[in-house]
Structure 1
C-alpha cells in the first residue's frame, strides 16, 4: 500500500508552475530532476502543502492558487533604490535578477526594475508575487 502525503512526509515529485497565460514559470521536468522536500520544512508555502496532503505516489493533480495563497502580493517595502556606485563597473540591465548580500551574509535575489542616473531600483519581492498560478504536480514517492 502506498503512503499518502502527511504533515511530516518526505515527498519526491515533479511540479510545474504556470502563469495565467499558460506559460511555464518553473518546472522540474525541464532538467528531469524531481523536487525532494519534507512537508513543513518551509520550502513550500502552507497553502501549497495543504493541496498536497493525502496525495499518493503516481497521483497527478493540478490546482490554482491566488496570489495570497502562493507568493503573496508585491510589498512596496521590498523595493529599494540602490546607489549605482554599489554595482562597481557593472551597470545592471532592467529585468536582470542579481544576488545581493544581506548583513547576515545570506544572499537574496533582487530584480532590477529601473536604472536612472545614479539610482538603481531593485525589487526584492518574489518574482511570482501578485500572480495567480497553476501548480501541476506528479507525486513520485512518499516516505513517512
Structure 2
C-alpha cells in the first residue's frame, strides 16, 4: 500500500540539523506512527513521504517554511521574574506553559537579567532546515475510529515526535 491521505504510517527516523547533530530519533524498535494527511507531522516530511511504500528509505532536507516556520522576533518578550511564582531558580533553556489570548503556549526562557526574564514562544526548531533519514516500516488503512479522531489508536506511539 502506498502512503496516501488517511493511511496509518509507521516510520523509523533520525532528524539532524545542518551541522549533522542528531536532534531527535525514533526509539529503536518503536517506529513513530501517524495518520497521513491529518497534520500530525510537519508538512515537508508528510509531502516527502506521499506515495512511498513499506521498506522504502527517504532522505529529505526540509526548509523552515515547510517545518516550524521562520523565527519571529515578535514572539520574544520580557516579563517580570515574579510571573514564575513557585520557581526558585529561573534559568535560560527552561520551558513553561503560558496562558495567552490564543490559549496555552509553550515558551522557552531565553535569558534572565536581574528581575527580567526574556521568554521566546518560537518553536525550538523554528528557522532551521531539518534533515530527515526515514525508513518506512509499515503502511496500512486507518480504522474508522482513527479517521474520526484524526490520530492512530493502537498505542504503539505517542505521536509527539517529528510534529
TM-score tier (shorter): 0.7 to 0.9
Say if 1:58 and 1:139, in contact at 8 Å, map to a contact too. Answer: yes
Say if 1:71 and 1:130, in contact at 8 Å, map to a contact too. Answer: yes
CA RMSD of superposed structures (Å): 2.0
**TM-score, with length taken from structure 2:** 0.77
Name the SS for the 1:114 alignment partner.
strand
Runs of 4+ in structure 1 over 3 Å off: none
CA distance in 1, matches of 2:108, 2:121: 6
Q: Which residue of structure 1 aligns with residue 5 of structure 2?
A: 7
Q: Per the alignment, do residues 124 and 32 of structure 1 end up closer, same or farther by CA in structure 2, a change over 3 Å counting?
A: farther
Measure how far apart 1:32 and its partner are.
4.0
Say if 2:15 and 2:25, in contact at 8 Å, map to a contact too. Answer: yes
Matched, 1:79 2:76: yes
**TM-score, with length taken from structure 1:** 0.87
Unaligned runs of 5+ in 1: none
Aligned residues: 140
Q: Which residue of structure 2 aligns with residue 26 of structure 1?
A: 24
Unaligned runs of 5+ in 2: 142-163
Which residues of 2 match residues 112-131 of structure 1 at below 5 A?
A: 112-131=109-128
